[in-house]
Amino acid sequence: MFRGSAPARAPSTWTLRVSVLDRCQYRCPYCRPGAVAPYVEPATRLTAEDYAALAPLFARRGVTKVRFTGGEPLLRRDLPEIVAAFRRGAPEATLALTTNGQHLAERLPALAEAGVTRATVHVDSLRPERYRALMGDGDVRDVLAATLAARDLLDEVKLNVVVQRGRNDDELSDFLSWSRATGVEVRFIELMNTGSAADYTRSVFMTGQEIANALAAAGGAAPVPRREASAPAARFRADDGLEFGIIASDTQPFCEDCNRMRLSADGRLLGCLYEAGGLDLRASLAAGDQAELAARLGQAFADKRSHHPDVDVERVPFSMAQTGG
């Protein structure tokens, strides 16, 4: 339906998602980094110097928000240097982080110091045993404590929950209770079938509408306007006024308002999560030719198209970790 379509109008500001590392210590059954493509070799990863060269070019092209993701971005020891490179090269941009939060407590001060002002923490269950079964070997109580520390230090912190039927859909109200108690906004995410775990994804898939219906029955879910047209989350308000988001990328795609570009850990620039390949910037980076780099980067922005498949169409498998979820 949306395949090949460009955004309805050229965005005036852009968001860049940077996958700084395609590896993760967790094993969420729908993500499985490394399942569809070999991991990027360490020598092939962009370096802090590469990001320093790119940051001013992105700023000039209108990028006003940069989100560091992966894989798990906090596994990259030099993440504060990467953040600082963007702080220097794109001083007007808001710098955000998406993380599973396992190492957030110890890394937060340096990241905030380097320039991160927003964080999204990914938690699929509030119950310690279920969390370990659904995500991996970590303690959700520590992750939630780190999330609150981030809430106290940063400008904005959110919690992402990937909703899986029969696995965690009985916790939707619990997440809203936690949000009510802490003031941290929760966003419920509809599973995207990236092809890295197609059978699992089909077996637990719940549409954004089904998530909204369940929440409406539990305590109200009245639609409220999106904050920005390009925001991925549809917004809802519970009967007591608590707001939350639902992101339904597959069943309710928002391609025409999408202002996101993505930079993979090995330096490929993509206009869409579903795009195969992307524009490889490494040769231009190695040559150190800023003018050529700027021209290629500008071309990728101009060529941005949706590659979003129809929901029922088979898709080219990709790894969310490599492209940067």
- Shortest approach of ligand SAM to residue 110 CB, angstroms? 18
Residues near ligand SAM (CB under 6 A) are 24, 30-31, 69-70, 72, 98-100, 122, 160, 162, 189, 191-192, 194, 320-321, 325
Q: CA-to-CA distance for 79 and 177, rounded, in angstroms? A: 33
Q: Which two tokens stand for residue 213?
A: 């219906």
Long-range Cβ contacts of 174-179 (<8 Å, 24+ apart): 174/126, 175/126, 176/215, 176/218, 176/219, 176/238, 176/242, 176/244, 178/126, 178/144, 179/242, 179/244
- Shortest approach of ligand SAM to residue 60 CB, angstroms? 27
- 136: how many CB neighbours lie within 10 A of its CB? 14
- Shortest approach of ligand SAM to residue 96 CB, angstroms? 11
Give the nearest residue (CB) to ligand SAM.
325
Choice between 98 and 259, CB closer to ligand SAM:
98
Choice between 59 and 144, CB closer to ligand SAM:
144
- Shortest approach of ligand SAM to residue 261 CB, angstroms? 16
Choice between 53 and 206, CB closer to ligand SAM:
206
Choice between 30 and 51, CB closer to ligand SAM:
30
Q: CA-to-CA distance for 230 and 232, rounded, in angstroms? A: 6
- Shortest approach of ligand SAM to residue 291 CB, angstroms? 33
Residue that the structure tokens 């898709």 belong to: 315
- 208: how many CB neighbours lie within 10 A of its CB? 20
Choice between 50 and 124, CB closer to ligand SAM:
124
